[in-house]
Structure formats: C-alpha cells, structure tokens
Amino acid sequence: MNDSISNPTKPAALQQWVGPTPPDHVLASIERMRRLDGAAHVAVMPDVHLAKGVCVGTVLGTERWVYPSAVGGDIGCGMAAVGLDASADAVDRPAVARAILKAFSRLVPISRHPRPLPIHLNARRKLSLGRLDHELQRTGRAQLGTLGGGNHFLELQRDANDDSLWAMVHSGSRGLGQAISRHHIEVSPHRSHGLPALDAESDLGRAYLRDQHLAQAYARLNRRLMLDAVAWLLREQLDIDVLPGSFVQCDHNHVRRERHHGRWLFVHRKGAAPAVADHVGLIPGSMGTASYHVLGRGHPDALCSSSHGAGRAMSRTEARQRISTGQFKRETRHVHTNPAQHARLREEAPQAYKDIRQVMRVQRELVSAQREVHPILSYKGT
C-alpha cells in the first residue's frame, strides 16, 4: 500500500534561528516540512543543513502523524561527557597522547568489538519484528561500545576557564538504529509530500515509537560504555579518576511526546538537542574548535530545542574536493590526532563546518553557555 495523504490546512508555524539565510534547497526542504500532514510547528536551528528526506538541524511538532525521516537513521545519536580529576596538561604531551590514541583504538573500536559485549537495557523489550531483534542480538552486541565513522568522535578536552580535563563522546545507536529506521520506512503505508508517514495511533506507528525508544536506550548505553573505557584507561595509565557527579548526556535524534503551546505534540528532532529550561546539554564544534556545555532556556517557539553542533558548511564530497591534507593539518595542528588518518579526515576539517561561535551567538535565546572546552586529543574513524 502506498497511499498519499495531504494536509488541507495552512502550513505549520515556522520559527528560525539561522543567521545567514540558508541556501534555496534547504529552504525548499523546510517548506515541505511545514506542509506535512499533521504538522503543527517547525523550528530551524542555526546548524541546519541538507540531508536525505529532512534537513539536519530541524524540529518538527506534529499531531498524530510520525515521520521516521524527521528523526533519521542514527536514532538516539547524541553526546556524553565526564569530568576528570586532573589538569589538561597531564595528557597534552606528544608521547602520552600517542599512547592514549593507540589504546583508544583497542578499547573503543570504530566498527565492531572483537568480543561482543552483553546488552543490559533498563527497559528491555523485544523489538517489533523478529529480524530486528536478531539485529539487536547479532550486530547490536558486536557494535556496542564502538564509535562509528563520519562525524562521531571521542575527545579529551581542556576547560577554557580552569584548564581541567574533560572527555566527550559523540555516537549513537550504530547499525541497530539504521535497521529500525529502514524497516519502518519500508513498511509505512502512507506518504505525505513524498515522506513516509505513520499514524501514531496505529499498530505500525506504535511499533515505531517503541522501537526508536529502545534504540535511544541502546545509544545511551553505548556512549556510557565508551566513557567507562576512557575512565579505566586514564586511571590505569595516568592515575586519573573521574569526578563524581560530572557525567552528562543528551541525544539529538528522536521523537517524543511533549506538551507545547497548550497541546500535546510528537516532537521530532533531527540534529537538534532538547533545551528545556535548566536542562544540561552538550553542543560540539569540530575537530579543531570549541565545544560547549549549556543550559537550556526552554524557548517555547523552538519547542525547547537548540542546535546539536556547528553543522556542516560543506558536503563531504565538497570538502574532499576543496580541502587539502595540508590544510587539514594546519587547522588541527594544536590537536593530537592519528597522522595516518589525515588524508581521509579532510571532510571533518574545521573548515568543512560552520563557525561554532557564530552558531552559539545566533541561539543565545535558546541556551546559555556554561563551559567552553577545547580539543586536546581527537579520536575518529574514517
């Protein structure tokens, strides 16, 4: 079944925090979102950029209808950070950094663990389809505690205020989230303006909401396990302990039921972080620029959201064509990285991303910066 549905009402309300006017193809994608069936409110973040189906850096509030494309494939992708009882100088030495990077490649693999880890989720439920449950037990176990490629990273960072040491990780639900998203897009019986749509009150809609909730839990566990590995390594090698109570975490790819403007909505965030009043969040920059610990301001017209990062200024293809290995080295010369990866990491160069300071200025109504941290050491896949 491939029924088409349409929204006979006027386009959804739109609020934007974007700085310079986005390109036409981004504006066209946003306008399509406003006309989706059940769309009530769209908020656009300053890191907005084009992606398949729905732009990254957007928030969509709907009544009844749920859109997997407005969450994306990496369900539950997000950030986690922990403070460490040491000065950043303890790791900001070439020999020490090389040893840590080498250990990271063993303790936090990019793709698969040589010995799959057990999955312990607080709200363990079976997924909606047997083959998805099989994916959880097979691929999910092998990828638990692994970083993934693209813009995912594990960093050691310096607090700009007091030179204290922090660890931060960006990762998500890995292949499990992709499998869940792909399945529910394939079985969706409806389309609205070309996007698969699920009635949240139908069996299919409820199945997607349950499955994406489990993928979020998996992603949270994944990040926690990676930071646990970092904590173990630093304690064993450098006698550095985690600061109690310093762990913070947020995700930026999900849909959840929230109350805004006096009504209940399904709030889809794709590359957008919750920014509820006094809610702690993490907004990363790029490999060579600052990241921020923030508190949400709970702006109602943003559906209590903020950017999830700096956002891409160039597509990956464009970055590979325009940024040389030499440029990448110059832009990241103050960050310890793996030299063997420099040519392949050009698409992750700071130049390929928007200016994080400008992004933070544009969204001053949405969040307040509490801590600025700068990368000392950056571990990434390619």
pLDDT digits (tens, 9 = 90+) for 240-281: 999 999 999 999 999 999 999 999 999 999 999 999 999 999
Residues in the chain: 382
Chain mean pLDDT for the chain: 95
Q: State pTM to two decimals.
A: 0.95
| pLDDT of 2 higher than 50 | no
- pLDDT value at residue 1: 41
Rg (CA), the chain: 20
Q: 104 in a domain, yes or no?
A: yes
- pLDDT value at residue 116: 80
User: How wide is the angle at C-alpha 43 spanned by C-alphas 255 and 311, nearest 5°?
Assistant: 85
Q: How many domains does the chain have?
A: 1
Residue 118 CB: number of other CB atoms within 10 A? 6
Collapse the DSSP code of 296 into the 3-class scheme (helix H, G, I; strand E, B; otherwise coil) and give the result: strand
Domain of residue 304: give its range.
3-313+353-380
User: Closest by alpha carbon to 242, among 80, 359, 130, 92?
Assistant: 80
Q: 200 in a domain, yes or no?
A: yes
Report whether 227 contacts 247 (CB < 8 A): yes
User: What mean pLDDT is predicted for residues 309-330?
Assistant: 96
Strand 3-5 and strand 190-192: the pairing is: parallel
User: What mean pLDDT is predicted for residues 41-70?
Assistant: 97
Compute the distance between CA of residue 19 and CA of residue 221 in angstroms, rounded to an integer.
Answer: 35
User: Closest by alpha carbon to 59, among 276, 354, 204?
Assistant: 276
| pLDDT of 8 higher than 90 | no
| pLDDT of 10 higher than 90 | no
| pLDDT of 125 higher than 80 | no
Q: 339 in a domain, yes or no?
A: no
Collapse the DSSP code of 123 into the 3-class scheme (helix H, G, I; strand E, B; otherwise coil) and give the result: coil
Collapse the DSSP code of 86 into the 3-class scheme (helix H, G, I; strand E, B; otherwise coil) and give the result: strand
| pLDDT of 7 higher than 60 | no
Collapse the DSSP code of 146 into the 3-class scheme (helix H, G, I; strand E, B; otherwise coil) and give the result: coil
Residue among 183, 190, 252, 308 flagged as catalytic: 308
- pLDDT value at residue 234: 98
End-to-end alpha carbon distance in the chain: 39
Q: Is 261 one of the catalytic residues?
A: no
Compute the distance between CA of residue 151 and CA of residue 382 in angstroms, rounded to an integer.
Answer: 9
| pLDDT of 175 higher than 60 | yes
Q: 337 in a domain, yes or no?
A: no
Compute the distance between CA of residue 172 and CA of residue 223 in angstroms, rounded to an integer.
Answer: 7
DSSP state of 352: G
Q: 375 in a domain, yes or no?
A: yes
Q: 348 in a domain, yes or no?
A: no
- pLDDT value at residue 382: 76
**Res. 115 pLDDT band, cuts 50 70 90:** confident
Q: How distant, in Å, are the alpha carbons of 2, 77, 110, 289 from that of 281?
A: 39, 13, 25, 18
Q: 327 in a domain, yes or no?
A: no
CATH code of the domain in which 190 resides: 3.90.1860.10
Taking the mean position of all CA atoms in its chain, how far away is CA 233? Answer: 25
| pLDDT of 118 higher than 90 | no
Q: 96 in a domain, yes or no?
A: yes
